[in-house]
Amino acid sequence: MGMERKRRAWSEKTAQAMDRLDLPQSLAADLPRIELSGNRGFYMDRHKGVLSYSTASIDVNGGSVVVRLWGKGLQIVAMTDDELRIDGLIEKVELVE
């Protein structure tokens, strides 16, 4: 069984267990969590890295989806292996599959 196939099987089993326990899907280990503070702050945990970056747009790898931020004066103010914080005037958040 290939690595990608094992990962998919694991994700499916995790989702089934979360459903049986009546837990929110957002607690699953492979799903990113996004939080907006008005239109001035963006927080994301469980990200997989920044794909592109400028003061007008930032693309963040969320695993199964790319989160694209559009705005003015965007800047990455904090980033670790798991967490990311972006400040600036956020005009649009787009999820790209």
pLDDT of residue 64: 85
DSSP string, 7-66: HHHHHHHHHHHHHHTT--GGGSTTS-EEEEETTTEEEEES---EEEE-SSEEEEE-SSSE
Q: Write the pLDDT tens digit of every residue in 2-56.
A: 656 655 665 676 667 666 776 666 565 667 889 999 999 999 999 999 999 999 9
pTM, 2 dp: 0.72
How far is Cα 55 from Cα 5, in angstroms, rounded to an integer?
Answer: 38
pLDDT of residue 27: 60
Q: Write the pLDDT tens digit of every residue in 11-26.
A: 676 667 666 776 666 5
Domain regions of the chain by residue span: 1-31, 32-97
Residues forming beta bridges with residue 76, ordered by sequence position: 86
Tell me which fold the domain 32-97 belongs to.
Answer: Immunoglobulin-like (2.60.40)
pLDDT of residue 32: 87
